[in-house]
Structure 1
Amino acid sequence: MPELSTLVRRLTPVADPALVLIVLLLSLLPLVTSRGAVPAWAYVLVVAECLPLTFRRRWPLIVISVSGVLAVIYGVAPLPDPAVPYAPLVGIYSAAAHSGRLGANVAGVISAIAITGSLLLDPTATLDHGLVLLAISATAWLLGDGARRRREVARTQTERADHLERTRAAEAAAAVADERNRIAREMHDVIAHHLSMMVVQAEAGPVVVASDPGRATAAFDAISAAGKQALTEMRRLLGVLKDGETAPLRPQPGVADLAELVDGVRSAGIDVRMTSTGPRQPLPAAVDLSVYRLVQEALTNCVRHGEPTRVDVNLVFEPRELSVTVADDGVGAAKTPHTGGHGLVAMRERVTLIGGTLAAGPRADRGWAVRAVLPLERS
């Protein structure tokens, strides 16, 4: 079928001239084979009747009008009649096939009126001949109208397929953008947290290297462990961006990993206390990860800006929601307000995506607090 379609497209430029030649030969045949004398203007009339068919696709209504008028003149004149009026029939088909619906209907009505008028003006015409001519003309119109309808259906299906393809491409692009945004949020949380821990440990190491070598060694070990963990998480996140490479099948962190996270911050010399109230229940994956990243970002901000001595992490499990609060006693709100950083924006966006709420600001007495309420079921 594709080869046939290609062949048809290649032959299209010569199809109309070839059709005009065939119609012209058929229309001239009665004149050429006539036993009586045929005036020269009869040949001119036939040629003038057939030549407009060359433009039947571009100006179908004009073509059928010119060919129809000349055919009526030929039919009324005392000239040898062809078996059927070939040029007007092709014109009727072309008008129905290549005009719009209104043009096709107008062409059909005009053709019927022209055929009826020519039959009334021709004294030699019979009723049987008229009925046959009308039937043949109606058939030509119906064939042309059917071809037009098929093209309209094919065009509609093509437009619909193109629209679906564009929609799928847009949805795929949106999915890629969402995934990249998610990875960007994850990268921010991972890098900010681990680098903050490494900076704190690196600053503490030289201070105690002489007085407490064991603690200095522990600080450098913590730096190494934080760096390795950051590299591992970065490889996992970046793996999905590389074509043909599969990211390591490591579970995303969640509430169960908060103890390890708190221990890492506690090793930096900050008193971090975590409490949990209410019966624990299985959490949706998005909520589980969001809780971990929320606490991670809040602890990172405490270390970077707050200079706290104590941080309280409190989780309250309720039947339909989970409340997470991270409060410190530092001076971050006074020195570097958290509200201007990307971390709080990322936290708020993450919480909003799962239908939760986030509040962050300075505490009444001292320090900074972040509180999020995350739904455990979506309505």
Structure 2
Amino acid sequence: MRGAWVVRTVRRFVRAPAADVVLAAAVAGNGLFDALKGPDWPPDASRPAIAVLALISAACLALRRRRPLLAFTGIMAPLTAILVVFGHYENGWSLLVALVAAYSVGVHGTNPPYAGAVMVCFAAAMGLRQPSGDAYPDMVFTAVALGLPFAVGLTVRALRGRGRLLEQRAQALEREQEQRAATAVAAERRRIARELHDIISHSLGIVVLQAGVVEQVLERDPAKARAALALIRATGQEAIGEMGTLVGLIRDDTRAPLDPQPTLADLDRLVATTRALGLPVRVVTEGPPDRLPAAVELSAYRVVQESLTNALKHAGKAQVDVVLRYRPHDLEVEVSDDGADGRQGTGGRHGLTGLKERVAVFGGRFEAGRGESGGWTVRASFPTAR
């Protein structure tokens, strides 16, 4: 843990502008010492001038990332002047500065031809005031020595640019997927709101109808009137709960459809239609069926409907099992197939996003993914406590 912290700290420092200032100061100190005391420079009379040029060259390293072309020129020009004015010399300090400058302009520069021309001029200066036998090898060696870090810098620059491009594309794709998922959630919430609107309207219609029955039989058949009042109470309580769910949803201004909403009693027709399309479906009911709120039955039906649609699209020739588990406090719906599934990618899951939102509205749990024996499994549970 401590080692990782040290590595992160070092990386942040190396990438900070202050690191260039520290590098320039260190190189300047070394260059100044070599120019004044080192054995590799020309006679003593020229050492102060060489020291000044060395300081200028080293100081420009501080700008190697912020102003790469200006820094490269400021580094190479004094070194070239030393070569031209004071002749050839062998000094590790000047070679180090030139290599760092070539790499830096390759990574951070924006004009490779200009940088290449400056390096050619510096290499040519190596041949001045040299015997003809030594001039050409020195020029070739200098050109190669500067060209290698320059090429490495260009490669690093290209890789960084490609990495930034890939990162931008990944971020754009992630934003697009989030927008699509949000759109799917909003559409599903509007759909749920319209369906609940129909259910509540139906419940209120029952309340009105039963109230009329009570009015007609109140005196001559009190028992029937009490039964009607009990139905009114139960229906009203259910409608109140569904109204609370409806208020929390996003609604649009479109007119709600007037078609009756399906329930679990309509599963037989849905399964028959799916079988007719060539997909074998088996329905299993576990536990005694209980009377459920209309909104729960509708949502359970939608889970089965969407799952069978996905199986038709993706499962191929597969066996599909639909299991309804009636338990004391919830209803679990499970739809699984054993086909070769094609839903591993990012596309085609907006239906699952809508189902997840639908189940979440009623405080339930939703799972979808690879089954234990292959294929695809969708599992949703709806609380049934009133």
Match of 1:104 in 2: 112
- 2:8 and 2:15 map into 1 onto residues whose CA distance is 11
Kept in 2, the 8 Å contact 1:31–1:80? The answer is no
Task: Tell me the alpha carbon deviations over residues 199-244 of structure 1, each in whole angstroms, 9 at most, x when there is no partner.
Answer: 2322442344224545533432432343355468679999999xxx
CA gap of 1:257–1:217, structure 2 versus 1, over 3 A, is: farther
> After the TM superposition, which of the residue ranges 52-61 and 2-11 deviates more from structure 2?
2-11
Aligned to 1:88: 98
Residue matched to 2:178: 169
Q: Aligned residue for 1:65?
A: 73
Instruction: State the match for 1:282 in structure 2.
Output: 272
Question: What are the residue-to-residue correspondences of 1:7-22 with 2, within 5 Å?
Answer: 7-13=10-16, 14-22=18-26
1:284–1:189 distance in 2 versus 1, CA, 3 Å: farther
Superimposed CA distance per residue, residues 312-350 of structure 1 (whole angstroms, 9 cap, x where no aligned partner): xxxxxxxxxxxxxxxxxxxxxxxxxxxxxxxxxxxxxxx
Separation in structure 2 between the aligned mates of residue 10 and residue 210 of structure 1, nearest angstrom? 91
2:273 maps to amino acid? L
Q: What's the TM-score, normalizing by structure 2?
A: 0.56
Deviation at 1:130? 1.4
Runs of 5+ consecutive residues of structure 1 not aligned to the other structure: 242-250, 259-278, 286-291, 297-379
Q: CA deviation at 1:89?
A: 2.6
- 1:6/1:280 Cα in 2 relative to 1: closer, same or farther (>3 Å)? closer
In the alignment, structure 2 segments of 5+ residues that lack a partner are 251-260, 276-293, 299-386
TM-score of the two chains, using structure 1 as the length reference: 0.57
Q: Confirm or deny: 8 A CA contact 1:38 1:79 kept in the other structure.
A: no
Q: Kindly indicate whether the alpha-carbon contact (under 8 Å) linking 1:26 and 1:86 is maintained by their aligned counterparts in 2.
A: no
Q: Which moved more, 1:144-153 or 1:214-223?
A: 214-223
Q: Distance in 2 between matches of 1:151 and 1:9?
A: 17
Larger Rg: 1
- Take 1:217 and 1:25, find their aligned partners in 2: how far apart are those partners? 103
8 Å CA contact 2:13, 2:19 repeated in 1: no
Q: What is residue 377 of structure 1 aligned with on the other side?
A: none
For the 8 Å contact 2:124–2:139, the answer to whether it is kept is no
1:159-202 deviations in Å (ceiling 9; x for gaps): 23322322232233223212312221221111111012202322
Matched, 1:32 2:22: no
Structure 1 residues 26, 122: CA separation in 2 closer, same or farther (over 3 Å shift)?
A: farther
Q: CA deviation at 1:131?
A: 1.5
Measure, in 2, the Cα distance between the counterparts of 1:31 and 1:129: 25
Q: Secondary structure of 2:171's match? A: helix
Shift of 1:145: 1.2
Partner Cα separation in structure 2 for residue 138 and residue 58 of structure 1: 22
Task: Tell me by how many angstroms 1:282 deviates.
Answer: 1.7
Q: Is the 8 A contact 2:207 2:235 kept in 1?
A: yes
Partners of 2:189 and 2:118 in 1: CA distance: 64
Q: Deviation per CA, 1:286-309: give whole Å up to 9, x if none.
A: xxxxxx99xx9xxxxxxxxxxxxx
Structure 1 window deviating more from structure 2 (140-149 vs 22-31): it is: 22-31
Distance in structure 2 (CA, Å) of the matches to 1:161 and 1:238: 37
Does 1:122 pair with 2:137?
no
How do 1:1-379 and structure 2 match up within 5 A?
3=5, 4-13=7-16, 14-28=18-32, 29-34=34-39, 36-39=43-46, 40-78=48-86, 81=89, 82-83=91-92, 84-100=94-110, 103-112=111-120, 114-124=121-131, 126-227=135-236, 230=239, 253=263, 256=266, 282-283=272-273
Distance (whole Å) between structure 1 residues aligned to residue 107 and residue 137 of structure 2: 28
Distance 1:129 1:239, change over 3 A: same
Separation in structure 2 between the aligned mates of residue 142 and residue 38 of structure 1, nearest angstrom:
38
Shift of 1:43: 1.2
Q: Distance in 2 between matches of 1:61 and 1:41?
A: 25
Does the 8 A contact of 1:116 with 1:130 survive in 2?
yes
Contact kept in structure 2, 1:194 and 1:226, CA below 8 Å: yes
Measure the CA separation in 2 of the matches of 1:252 and 1:99: 67
CA pair 38-188 structure 1, distance change in 2 beyond 3 A: farther
Aligned residues of 2:68 and 2:109 also touching (Cα < 8 A)? yes
Q: 1:88 to 1:257 in 2, by over 3 A?
A: closer
The code of the aligned residue for 2:174 comes to E
Q: How far 1:148 sits from its partner (Å)?
A: 1.1
> In the TM superposition, what whole-angstrom CA distance separates every residue of 1:85-116 from its partner, at most 9, and x where no partner exists?
3333322211110124xx2343123322x124
In 1, Cα distance between the equivalents of 2:25 and 2:266?
86
Q: Counterparts of 1:76 and 1:69 in 2: how far apart (Å)? A: 10
Is contact 2:65-2:108 (8 Å) kept?
Answer: yes
Query: Structure 2: which amino acid aligns with 1:78?
Result: F
Contact 1:96 1:108 in 2 (8 A): no
